[in-house]
A and B are shown apart, each in its own frame.
Chain A
Amino acid sequence: DAGVTQSPTHLIKTRGQQVTLRCSPISGHKSVSWYQQVLGQGPQFIFQYYEKEERGRGNFPDRFSARQFPNYSSELNVNALLLGDSALYLCASSPGDRDTQYFGPGTRLTVL
């Protein structure tokens, strides 16, 4: 079975630009969560979506937004990029609203 997939793998942007990251969950999983992992830290929760509805939002500014599509895939958007947004962005999927999360390989975002 295919695991969680994310695209692109790597991305380089400049300050002030906007970026869209994509995630496809494991087949049959209806929940998608997004995390930011800065080097040397554990992942930090950004959003959770379940059945296309936002179920949770972490302590991130409004520049971060996300959505989930009818096929349960998801996009994370970040506007007005800052140098501090440079990180590994992880997507995780789970079958239901409160289940074990399975992580994708991540998208490495570098902001110059």
Chain B
Amino acid sequence: AQSVSQHNHHVILSEAASLELGCNYSYGGTVNLFWYVQYPGQHLQLLLKYFSGDPLVKGIKGFEAEFIKSKFSFNLRKPSVQWSDTAEYFCAVTPSNTGNQFYFGTGTSLTVIP
């Protein structure tokens, strides 16, 4: 069965620190990859996505992610975090040849200290 692993469950950073959140998946075929963010009291919002092409994708609010096929990874990065980035971050994977079933990781809670 497909699975998505987010190894960092809780991350605490000071403002201006760099961020990298790990995401690994187990699926041998072609996949579409997503990062969603859930700010406190709000619903899931799309940060960025990868379908094909350049493996380095840029999203909203200065986030980017790199797809490394050989490592089955899609890590999220931001060079300098802000207090407003405090949120829950979810990685999601969907096999590109079967429907639109999203497999989500368990999420990473990010707290940014001013």
Chain A interface residues toward B at CB < 8 A = 31, 33, 35, 40-45, 48, 50, 55-56, 58, 90, 92, 94, 97-106
Contacts and interface: CB of A to CB of B under 8 A. Distances in A.
A45 B100 CA distance: 10
Contacts of B45: 103
Given A40-B106, A41-B107, A101 B43 contact: no
Contacts of B104: 35, 42-44
B67 interface: no
A31 B4 contact: no
Interface residues of B, number: 25
Given A42-B104, A100-B49, A90 B99 contact: no
B27 interface: no
B50 to A, nearest CB: 11
B34 interface: yes
B100 A31 contact: yes
